[in-house]
Structure 1
Amino acid sequence: MAQTAGFSLFGNTDRHHADGKSSKFNLKTLLDFSTLQPRVQNHLKNVYTCLLGATLCATLGVFLSLNDWLNYPRLAVFASMATSIWLFSIDFNARTQMKCFGLMSATALFTGIYLSPLINLAINVDPQIIMTAFLLTTVIFVCFSLSALLTKNRTYLYLGGLLGTGTSFMLLLSLMNLFGRSQLIFNINLYLGLALACGYILYDTQLIVERANNGDMNYV
């Protein structure tokens, strides 16, 4: 009896693998966003298009600064702060959406300008650092965004408090390291910042979806 049951069990397993349905990778399943409402899907397209535009503007800012056309990084810091405050003071609607997009693009451009000294330093050390960082950042962003979008329950929204606490802790460590100059604190801040950045991708993605479900279509 035991042998018969054993053969029956393995026989079912073989047939199960022979079908190839459970073990076969299906890309359509990975990209299935049917759980999201059509208006939410359209909103996400606007959000990621806006993000792509901001990335291109920041890249343009770096290019202009490195070629000494707009090489004013200190001035760009204050300019980005001014455009950010102006952007947050505007109510997003159909009449102001182009103005908001323009301010966001300007903020990204100024951000690229004041980050150009850091980019230039990385290029002088090893030009491959820039491309490696870009590719790894893209992979991390895509993977964590898909994880947040494909999760039916909005459980990542509970990360908000933990992420806020971690950010405050990082700020405290940074202030301490202004006086201590500790390599250990620097490394803790570095890897903690990486972990928090991944957490914010999960949290912000689900927050965008939840706000869109509640009628907030501000994609800027």
Structure 2
Amino acid sequence: MESYSSYFQSQSGYGTSWNFDTFKNLGEISPTVQSHLKQVYFTLCCALVASVVGTYLHILWNIGGLLTTLACLGCMVWLLSSPPYEETKRCRLLMAAAVFEGASIGPLVDLAIQIDYSILVTGFVGCAIAFGCFSAVAVFARRREFLYLGALLSSGVSILFWLQFASNIFGGSASLFKFELYFGLLVFLGYIVFDTQEIIEKAHFGDLDYVKHALTLFTDFVAVFVRILIIMLKNSMENKEKKRKRRD
């Protein structure tokens, strides 16, 4: 208890000192939950590698599209409906879903490579940093501190859905598209924090289904990556258009 109280005291106020021991102290997170988180993040890394393979397959054979998106959703549904004890099967389904997801976003990645390869690298690094920072916020925060975000984020997703629905029917302006893009990025960054704390909370109560939890974080990562990549592509094309107009 003494170590827990010292950790929380170090978090309150600007006048308190910070040291590496505080950083190592995970507050109320037990060794079992810490081990679970390591397993979740390792599985997430494997899923991201599988997604890169799927993107590469699209670049080679142009396989990404509606079919790969449906296949990805099918694998996810199959995974979530499979019992937790079928661990090997569920891991394979997760990797298959990741490959299909990578192929589905392949056209966007291919476009980024054609315009400027550095956009892809910068976008991925930026997404990884954002994901790591927001995950760290959730891990080092007090338990349940950010679980209230669920209702707000669900409302945000509903707003995004209706904006997309309205723009498809009535047509959307450039400003509306920009709002959807940045608001969507903000919502899914919030989901990283919320989902991470929810995973920690569930693990405290014995839910150690690392495959399902890795799937949750994988979908968050892809959602953030796609939006960051679109923002960077849009900015790059606008800058090139401005330079072209100056030359003319």
TM-score range relative to shorter protein: 0.7 to 0.9
What one-letter code is carried by the residue in structure 1 that aligns with 2:100?
Answer: F
Alignment of 1:1-220 (within 5 A): 26-68=19-61, 71-93=63-85, 96-178=86-168, 179-220=170-211
Superposition deviation, residue 76 in structure 1: 1.1
Q: CA deviation at 1:79?
A: 1.3
Counterpart residue type for residue 39 of structure 2: N
Runs of 4 or more consecutive aligned structure 1 residues displaced over 6 Å after TM superposition:
none
Deviations 1:144-183 (A, max 9, x none): 1111111124120000000000000000011111132211
Distance 2:27 2:166 in 1: 48
Contact 2:64 2:104 in 1 (8 A): yes
Question: How far off is 1:71 after superposition?
Answer: 2.3
d(CA) in 2 for partners of 1:147, 1:77 = 31
Check conservation: 2:139, 2:197, Cα contact below 8 A. yes
Distance 1:31 1:67 in 2: 44
SS of 1:155's equivalent?
coil
The 1-side partners of 2:94 and 2:24 are apart by 29
Structure 2 residues without counterparts, runs of 5 or longer: 1-15, 212-248
Q: Percent identity?
A: 36
CA RMSD of aligned residues (A): 1.7
TM-score (norm 1): 0.84
After superposition, the C-alpha distances for 1:112-152 in whole angstroms (9 at most, x for unaligned) are 11111111111112111111111111111111111111112
Unaligned runs of 5+ in 1: 1-21
